C-alpha cells in the first residue's frame, strides 16, 4: 500500500474510532464532560454530569418527546417549590386551549421557553434565558395590557416589571395587590419584634423524662473514654431528647438492646444517612437547596455500563473504562460559584459540616457554620450588623428567644408541620427573588414597605442591612390608589 | 526536428493525448510565443524599438508558421511585439493548436481518438509511437537535472513551460522543488542574447511577461481571497462574540444564534459549504474532472467555498467559540481556514516570498498545517451533530 493510501486508511480508521468512543460515552457510559454544550447555570452546575436528570428522553427520541421529557424533569424537582410559592403563572393556566394565542408569543406551558440550560451568554438572574422585558409578550395588548388596566403603569417600560419589589413571574406571595393594600402604612419596625416560630422552637423543651445524662451513655469502653465527646453529647439536643449513642453508631440495633449487641454493631463514623432516619424534613429540604442538591432523589446516578447491550460482549476492563465515575455525593466549597473562604475549599457539605455530630449546636450552625465558608460582602458584613447584635443578645440570654436574627433566621425558614416547628434546610428558598423571604421572615419584625425597600436596595443587602433603604419602591402606594379607584368605580 | 510550437502542443497534452488543465488564454499566449520564437530562430522576423518586422518572408515549410508569417507581413500597420502577442493570442491561439495537432497527425506523430460517448465531441491526440512527447519530457528533465550549459532552444522552451506552469504537470511536486533552483539559474544564463539575435530574447521576454500577466490575474485574485479568508478566520477566532441585544420579541440575532431550528439550518449550510470545499480539492485529483476549467478554477472554487464556509461559521456562531468539544471543533475549523488562507498566500505570492528569502520548504508548512487541522474535523463534526440530536 502506498504511503498516501496508508495515510487515508489510518485517518479514516482514527476518525471512526474517535466517533465510536464518543458515541459509546454518550449512549453507554464514560466521562461526558467534554460533551457539555455550554457552561451550566449556577443552579445546575453541581449536577452537570448527571445528564439524565434533565435529558430524560430515550436516545434518538423525537424533538417533541425530548422537549416534553426535559420539561417534566424540571417539574420533578421544582413543582413543589412553585406550588409553595403560589405560582402566579401556573402551567395549568396556559395549557387551556383558550390560551393558544399566547403560545406563539411565549409558550408558558414549557419551562424551557424561558429557562434554557447551556446558554450562559443570555442567562439572566434566576436562570432566565429570555430578555428581561419578556412580560411584553402577553401584557402589552388586549385584556392583559397593563398600561391600560393600571393607569399607574402607563409610562413604564417592560424591562422594569421584574425590578426588585415589583413583580416576579412565579413567586408573588408578598407582592400581590391585596396583600400590599392590607399591609400599607406599617411602621418600619413592629412593636416587640420577634420571630415567632424561632421563639417557639427555641422554647420547645424536650420531655424531661426522656432526657439522658452523661452516665446514661451506652457505648463501647473506648468510646466512653472520649471525655470531650461525651461531654458534648451530654449537653446536646440529642441527649435532651433521649437519643443515646447507639441510635447513630449502631442504628441496626433496637432500642434497649444489651451493650454486647451495641458493641457488635458499633460503627465509629456512621454515615450521614442515619441523620435522615430521624430528621426527615431537614434531610428532604437539604436536598432541595444548593448545599445538598446532589442528594436530590430526582438527580440521576452514574450509568451502569455493565447493564447495557454491550455489557456482556466487551471485556471487563473496557466496561470499567466505559462506566460513569461515581457522582460526588456532596458539594464541596471549592465548587461554589459565590465568594467562599479559601481555607474551607476542601470542605464538603453534609449534616456534619454545620452541625457538630456530638454537640449538635444549632446556634453554631445558625451563624458560625455559614461564616466559616461564605466570604461574600453580605456574609462578611453580618458580624457587627444590627441583626448580629440582636443575635448575640439572644444567645447570651440578654434578650428573649426569637429576637435574635442569625443567618439561619432569614435563609432557613421555619414552618409548623404536624404540631412541630421544623427548619427548612433549603437555604435557597428565600433567594432569587429575595422577596420570597418577606412573608416567612421579614414581616415578623418589619413593615412590608420597609421590607420591600430594604430587599430592593442592593447596597443595603450587601452591607447586611446596616442603615436604611435609600430608594423607595412605590408598589404599596400604587396598589392603594388602584384599590381606592376600584372602590370608587364600584360605588358608582 | 520539431518546432517550438509542435513541442509545446505535445507538452500541453498528457500521456493519453488529453489537454492538461492549463487555462485556455495562457496556453494561447504560450503557443503564440512559440510561433514567434520559431520564426525568430529561423531569422524570419526581427524586432526593433517600435515594431515586429518581417525580416525574411520566405516560407518555412511549416503551415502554421507560414500562415502567421504572412499575416504579420501583410499587417496594414506596424505593431510592436507586445501587441502582436496580444492580437495573435486572442485570434489565433485555438487555430495554432488545432492546426499543429492536425499537422502532427498528418506526419504520423499523433493519432486522433474520438470520444466513444454519444454526443460528446471531444478528441484526444495520443502519441502514435508513445515516444515523441516522452522524449521531449526526458530532454527537459535532462536539461533541468544536469549542470551542463544547455542549448538556447531548450532554455527558451523551459522558460516558456515554466511561465505557463506546465512543468508541475511534467514533474511531481517533490521533483519540482528540486529543479526550481536550476530553472532560476537557466533564466539568468542569457544564452539567447549571446548566441542568437536579440529579437528572440525580446520575444521570449515579452511572451513570458504576457503569459505571467495572465496567470497573475488569477494569482492576484486567489491571493486577495486567501488573504481575506485568513484575516477573517483570525478575526472570528479573536473577536468577541456579537451581542444579541436585550429586547424581547422579534430579535433576529437571538433566533439566529440561540434558536435550535435556525442553528440547525445554518449548521447544515456550513456543513454543505465545507463539504463542497473539500470536494473541490478531491476533484482536483481527478484529471478528467479538473479539465473542466482547469486547476485555477477549481482552486478558486475551493477558496470561494472556504470563504463561504467562513461566513457560515459567523452565521452559525456569531464569533462564539463554545466550550469543551464545541470549542475544539471551532478551533480546528478556524485553524484549518487560517492555515488554508496562509497556504493560498504562500502559493500565490511565491515570487515575493522567494525574494524575501522564504524557502520552498517553509512555504509548504501552512499547507501541511491546513491538512493537519482538517484531520480531526470529520470526527468532531459527527460528534457535534450527534450531541445535538442525542441530547
Helix (H) or strand (E) segment spanning residue B43: none
Total of domains in chain A:
3
Q: Which residue of B has its CA nearest to A124?
A: B246
- Residues in chain B predicted with pLDDT less than 50, given as ranges, are 192-196
Same domain, B126 and B266: no
CB contact under 8 A, B390 and A132: no
- The Cα-based distances of B312 to B273, B299, B318, B324 in angstroms read 8, 20, 9, 21
Q: Which residues of A touch B379 (CB under 8 A)?
A: 14-15, 18-19, 22
* Better-predicted residue by pLDDT, B286 or A401: A401
* Confidence (pLDDT) at B152: 80
| Tens digit of each residue's pLDDT (9 = 90 or more) over A104-138 | 889 999 999 999 999 888 899 889 999 889 999 99
The full length of chain A comes to 492
Average pLDDT over residues A89-98: 91
Same domain, B79 and B188: yes
Q: Does B253 touch chain A (CB under 8 A)?
A: no
B window 328-367, beta carbon within 8 A of A = 328
What distance in Å separates residue B61's CA from the closest CA in chain A?
Answer: 49
Give chain A's largest Cα–Cα span. Answer: 98
Same domain, A18 and A40: no
Q: Which residue of B has its CA nearest to A35?
A: B325
Q: Does B327 touch chain A (CB under 8 A)?
A: no
Q: Which residue of B has its CA nearest to A136?
A: B248
Sign of the Cα torsion B117, B121, B122, B127 reads positive
Of residues A11, A26, A36, nearest to B323 (C-beta): A36
Tell which residue, A316, A281, A323, has the closest CA to residue A416: A281
- The Cα-based distances of A436 to A171, A429, B298 in angstroms read 7, 7, 66
> Residue B13 has which C-alpha cell?
497534452
| Tens digit of each residue's pLDDT (9 = 90 or more) over A247-286 | 999 988 888 888 899 999 999 888 878 998 889 999 999 9
Q: Does B119 touch chain A (CB under 8 A)?
A: no
Q: Which residue of A has its CA nearest to B387?
A: A35
Angle, alpha carbons B114-B115-B120 (nearest 5°): 125
Q: Which of A150-154, A344-348, B359-363 has the highest mean pLDDT?
A: A344-348
Whether the CB-CB separation of A114 and A128 falls below 8 Å is answered with yes
* Confidence (pLDDT) at B196: 46
Within A323-402, residue ranges assigned H as helices are: 351-354, 362-366, 368-371, 377-382, 386-396
Total of domains in chain B:
2
Phi, psi (rounded to 5 degrees) for A145: -75, 105
A303: Cβ contacts below 8 Å, ≥ 6 apart: A28, A29, A52, A323, A324
Q: What ipTM does the predicted assembly reach?
A: 0.80
Residue A464 lies in a domain: no
Whether the CB-CB separation of A210 and A242 falls below 8 Å is answered with yes
Q: Which residues of B touch A60 (CB under 8 A)?
A: 389-390
Q: Which of A138, A171, A204 is the last residue in one of the domains?
A: A171
Tell which residue, B189, B197, B126, has the closest CA to residue B154: B189
A374: Cβ contacts below 8 Å, ≥ 6 apart: A338, A339, A340, A341
CB contact under 8 A, A37 and B386: no
CB contact under 8 A, A18 and B326: no
Q: Which residues of B touch A19 (CB under 8 A)?
A: 379, 382-383, 386
What is the Cα A481 distance to its own chain's centre?
36
* Confidence (pLDDT) at B198: 65
Strands in A132-240 per DSSP E: none
Whether the CB-CB separation of B346 and B367 falls below 8 Å is answered with yes
* Confidence (pLDDT) at B9: 92
* Confidence (pLDDT) at A307: 67
Q: Which of B195, B211, B227 is the last residue in one of the domains?
A: B211
Pairwise CA distance, residues A239 & A210, whole Å: 8
Q: Which residue of A has its CA nearest to B247?
A: A131
> Residue B177 has which C-alpha cell?
522543488
pLDDT exceeds 80 at position A239:
yes
Of residues A39, A132, A137, nearest to B323 (C-beta): A39
| Sole residue written with cell 482552486 | B299
CB contact under 8 A, B387 and A11: no
Domain range enclosing B199: 4-211
CB contact under 8 A, B258 and A122: yes
Same domain, B232 and B293: yes
Buried b / exposed e over A46-55, threshold 16 CB at 10 Å, is bbbbbbebbb
| Sole residue written with cell 450587601 | A462
What distance in Å separates residue A131's CA from the closest CA in chain B?
Answer: 5
Q: Does A38 touch chain B (CB under 8 A)?
A: yes
* Better-predicted residue by pLDDT, A372 or A485: A372
Angle, alpha carbons A132-A136-A142 (nearest 5°): 165
Sign of the Cα torsion B181, B182, B187, B188 reads positive
Same domain, B17 and B109: yes
Q: Does B241 touch chain A (CB under 8 A)?
A: yes
Same domain, A258 and A355: yes
* Confidence (pLDDT) at B377: 93
Whether the CB-CB separation of B292 and B300 falls below 8 Å is answered with no
* Confidence (pLDDT) at B195: 44
> Residue A370 has which C-alpha cell?
455559614
Tell which residue, B6, B5, B2, B19, has the closest CA to residue B293: B19
| Interhelix angle B360-374/B173-187, nearest 10 degrees | 150
Same domain, A10 and A48: no
* Confidence (pLDDT) at A310: 66
Sign of the Cα torsion A18, A24, A27, A31 reads negative
Q: Does A20 touch chain B (CB under 8 A)?
A: no
CB contact under 8 A, A131 and B248: yes
Q: Which residues of A touch B246 (CB under 8 A)?
A: 131-133, 159
- The Cα-based distances of B77 to A9, A354, A414, B90, B200 in angstroms read 64, 106, 109, 18, 22
Same domain, A280 and A388: yes
Whether the CB-CB separation of A377 and A299 falls below 8 Å is answered with no
Same domain, B226 and B205: no
Residue A230 lies in a domain: yes
Q: Does A35 touch chain B (CB under 8 A)?
A: yes
Residue A141 lies in a domain: yes
Same domain, A402 and A335: yes
Interface test with B, best of A3, A15, A33, A128 (most B CBs within 10 A): A15
Of residues A22, A34, A55, nearest to B391 (C-beta): A55
- The Cα-based distances of A246 to A220, A264, A267 in angstroms read 10, 11, 9
Per the DSSP assignment, residues forming a β-bridge with A415 are A422
Strands in A297-451 per DSSP E: 414-417, 420-423
Same domain, B51 and B200: yes
> Residue A106 has which C-alpha cell?
411565549
Q: Does B322 touch chain A (CB under 8 A)?
A: yes
Whether the CB-CB separation of A455 and A434 falls below 8 Å is answered with yes
> Residue B56 has which C-alpha cell?
525574411
Residue A325 lies in a domain: yes
Strands in B168-243 per DSSP E: none
Q: Does B371 touch chain A (CB under 8 A)?
A: no
Whether the CB-CB separation of B109 and B61 falls below 8 Å is answered with no
A158: Cβ contacts below 8 Å, ≥ 6 apart: A133, A134, A135, A136, A139, A140, B248
Pairwise CA distance, residues A144 & A138, whole Å: 7
Same domain, B206 and B243: no
Within A250-300, residue ranges assigned H as helices are: 259-265, 273-278, 280-286
Q: Does B247 touch chain A (CB under 8 A)?
A: yes
The phi-psi region of residue A116 (left if phi > 0; otherwise alpha if psi is between -120 and 50; otherwise beta) is: beta
CB contact under 8 A, B383 and A18: yes
Per the DSSP assignment, residues forming a β-bridge with B49 are none
A266: Cβ contacts below 8 Å, ≥ 6 apart: A219, A220, A223, A249, A250
Tell which residue, B379, B222, B339, has the closest CA to residue A13: B379
Q: Does B174 touch chain A (CB under 8 A)?
A: no
Give the domain CATH number at B59: 1.10.3630.10
Whether the CB-CB separation of A393 and A194 falls below 8 Å is answered with no
CB contact under 8 A, A37 and B258: no
Pairwise CA distance, residues B185 & A66, whole Å: 70
pLDDT exceeds 80 at position A139:
yes
Same domain, A342 and A417: yes
- The Cα-based distances of B219 to A450, B222, B323 in angstroms read 75, 5, 38
Same domain, A136 and A96: yes
Pairwise CA distance, residues A332 & B259, whole Å: 34
Q: Which of B158, B177, B211 is the last residue in one of the domains?
A: B211
CB contact under 8 A, A137 and B248: yes
Q: Does B387 touch chain A (CB under 8 A)?
A: yes
Of residues B322, B383, B389, nearest to A19 (C-beta): B383
Same domain, A319 and A368: no
Pairwise CA distance, residues A246 & B87, whole Å: 109
Question: Torsion over CA of B330, B335, B340 and B346, rounded to 10 degrees?
Answer: 160
Domain range enclosing A159: 35-171
Amino acid at each position: 500500500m502506498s504511503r498516501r493510501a496508508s495515510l487515508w486508511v489510518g485517518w479514516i480508521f482514527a476518525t471512526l474510532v474517535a466517533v465510536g468512543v464518543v458515541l459509546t460515552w454518550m449512549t453507554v457510559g464514560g466521562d461526558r464532560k467534554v460533551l457539555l454544550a455550554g457552561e451550566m447555570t449556577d443552579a445546575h452546575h453541581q449536577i452537570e454530569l448527571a445528564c439524565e436528570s434533565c435529558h430524560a428522553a430515550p436516545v434518538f427520541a423525537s424533538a417533541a418527546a425530548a422537549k416534553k421529557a426535559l420539561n417534566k424533569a424540571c417539574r420533578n424537582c421544582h413543582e413543589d417549590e412553585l406550588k409553595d410559592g403560589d405560582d402566579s403563572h401556573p402551567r395549568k393556566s396556559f395549557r387551556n386551549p383558550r390560551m393558544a394565542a399566547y403560545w406563539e408569543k411565549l409558550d408558558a406551558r414549557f419551562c424551557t421557553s424561558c429557562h434554557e440550560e447551556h446558554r450562559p451568554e443570555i442567562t439572566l438572574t434566576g436562570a432566565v434565558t429570555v430578555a428581561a422585558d419578556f412580560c411584553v409578550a402577553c401584557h402589552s395588548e388586549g385584556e392583559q395590557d397593563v398600561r391600560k388596566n393600571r393607569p399607574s403603569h402607563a409610562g413604564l417600560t417592560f424591562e422594569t416589571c421584574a425590578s426588585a419589589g415589583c413583580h416576579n413571574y412565579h413567586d408573588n406571595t408578598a407582592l400581590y395587590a391585596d396583600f400590599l393594600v392590607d399591609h400599607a402604612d406599617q411602621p418600619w419596625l413592629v412593636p416587640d419584634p420577634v420571630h415567632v416560630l424561632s421563639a417557639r422552637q427555641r422554647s420547645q423543651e424536650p420531655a424531661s423524662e426522656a432526657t439522658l445524662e452523661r452516665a446514661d451513655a451506652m457505648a463501647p469502653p473506648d468510646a466512653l473514654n472520649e471525655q470531650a465527646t461525651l461531654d458534648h453529647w451530654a449537653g446536646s439536643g440529642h441527649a435532651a431528647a433521649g437519643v443515646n449513642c447507639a441510635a447513630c453508631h449502631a442504628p441496626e440495633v433496637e432500642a434497649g438492646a444489651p451493650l454486647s449487641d451495641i458493641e457488635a454493631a458499633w460503627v465509629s463514623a456512621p454515615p450521614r444517612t442515619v441523620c435522615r432516619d430521624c430528621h426527615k424534613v431537614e434531610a428532604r429540604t437539604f436536598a432541595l437547596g444548593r448545599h445538598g442538591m446532589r442528594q436530590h432523589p430526582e438527580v440521576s446516578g452514574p450509568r451502569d455500563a455493565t447493564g447495557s447491550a454491550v455489557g456482556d460482549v466487551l471485556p471487563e476492563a473496557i466496561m470499567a473504562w466505559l462506566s460513569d465515575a461515581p457522582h460526588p455525593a456532596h458539594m464541596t466549597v471549592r465548587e461554589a460559584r459565590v465568594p467562599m473562604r479559601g481555607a474551607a475549599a476542601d470542605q464538603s457539605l453534609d449534616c456534619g459540616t454545620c452541625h457538630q455530630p456530638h454537640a449538635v449546636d444549632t446556634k453554631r450552625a445558625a451563624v458560625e457554620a455559614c461564616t466559616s465558608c461564605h466570604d461574600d460582602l453580605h456574609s462578611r458584613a453580618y458580624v457587627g450588623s444590627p441583626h448580629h447584635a440582636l443575635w448575640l443578645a439572644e444567645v447570651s440570654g440578654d434578650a428573649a428567644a426569637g429576637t435574635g436574627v442569625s443567618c439561619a433566621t432569614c435563609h432557613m425558614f421555619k414552618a409548623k408541620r404536624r404540631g412541630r416547628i421544623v427548619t427548612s434546610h433549603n437555604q435557597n428558598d428565600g433567594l432569587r427573588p429575595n422577596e420570597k423571604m418577606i412573608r416567612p421572615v421579614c414581616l415578623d419584625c418589619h413593615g412590608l414597605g420597609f421590607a420591600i425597600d430594604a430587599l430592593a436596595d442592593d447596597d443595603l443587602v450587601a452591607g447586611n442591612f446596616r442603615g436604611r433603604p435609600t430608594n423607595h419602591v412605590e408598589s404599596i402606594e400604587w396598589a392603594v390608589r388602584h384599590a381606592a379607584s376600584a372602590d370608587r368605580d364600584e360605588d358608582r | 526536428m520539431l518546432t517550438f510550437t509542435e513541442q509545446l502542443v505535445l507538452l500541453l497534452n498528457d500521456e493519453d493525448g488529453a489537454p492538461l488543465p492549463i487555462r485556455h488564454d495562457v496556453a494561447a499566449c504560450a503557443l503564440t510565443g512559440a510561433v514567434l520564437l520559431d520564426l525568430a530562430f529561423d531569422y524570419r522576423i526581427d524586432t526593433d524599438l517600435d515594431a515586429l518586422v518581417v525580416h525574411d518572408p520566405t516560407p518555412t515549410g511549416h503551415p502554421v508558421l507560414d500562415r502567421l508569417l504572412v499575416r504579420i507581413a501583410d499587417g496594414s500597420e506596424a505593431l510592436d511585439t507586445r501587441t502582436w502577442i496580444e492580437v495573435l493570442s486572442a485570434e489565433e491561439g485555438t487555430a495554432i493548436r488545432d492546426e499543429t495537432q492536425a499537422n502532427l497527425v498528418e506526419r504520423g506523430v499523433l493519432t486522433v481518438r474520438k470520444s466513444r460517448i454519444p454526443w460528446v465531441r471531444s478528441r484526444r491526440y495520443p502519441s502514435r509511437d508513445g515516444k515523441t512527447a516522452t522524449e521531449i519530457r526526458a530532454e527537459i528533465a535532462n536539461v533541468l537535472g544536469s549542470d551542463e550549459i544547455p542549448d538556447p532552444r531548450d532554455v527558451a522552451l523551459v522558460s516558456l513551460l515554466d511561465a505557463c506552469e506546465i512543468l508541475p504537470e511534467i514533474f511531481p511536486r517533490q521533483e519540482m522543488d528540486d529543479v526550481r533552483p536550476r530553472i532560476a539559474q537557466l533564466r539568468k544564463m542569457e544564452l539567447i542574447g549571446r548566441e542568437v539575435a536579440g529579437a528572440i530574447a525580446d520575444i521570449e521576454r515579452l511572451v513570458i511577461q504576457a503569459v505571467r500577466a495572465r496567470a497573475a490575474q488569477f494569482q492576484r485574485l486567489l491571493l486577495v481571497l486567501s488573504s481575506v479568508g485568513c484575516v477573517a478566520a483570525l478575526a472570528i477566532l479573536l473577536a468577541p462574540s456579537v451581542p444579541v441585544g436585550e429586547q424581547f420579541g422579534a430579535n433576529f440575532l437571538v433566533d439566529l444564534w440561540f434558536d435550535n431550528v435556525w442553528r440547525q439550518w445554518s449548521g447544515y449550510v456550513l456543513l454543505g459549504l465545507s463539504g463542497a470545499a473539500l470536494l473541490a480539492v478531491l476533484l482536483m485529483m481527478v484529471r478528467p474532472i479538473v479539465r473542466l476549467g482547469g486547476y485555477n478554477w477549481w482552486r478558486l472554487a475551493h477558496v470561494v467555498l472556504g470563504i463561504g464556509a467562513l461566513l457560515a461559521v459567523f452565521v452559525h456562531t456569531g464569533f462564539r467559540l463554545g466550550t469543551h468539544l464545541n470549542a475544539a471543533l471551532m478551533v480546528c475549523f478556524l485553524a484549518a481556514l487560517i492555515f488554508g488562507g496562509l497556504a493560498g498566500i504562500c502559493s500565490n505570492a511565491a515570487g515575493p516570498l522567494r525574494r524575501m528569502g522564504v524557502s520552498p520548504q517553509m512555504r509548504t508548512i501552512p499547507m501541511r498545517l491546513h491538512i493537519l487541522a482538517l484531520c480531526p474535523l470529520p470526527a468532531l463534526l459527527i460528534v457535534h451533530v450527534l450531541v445535538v440530536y442525542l441530547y
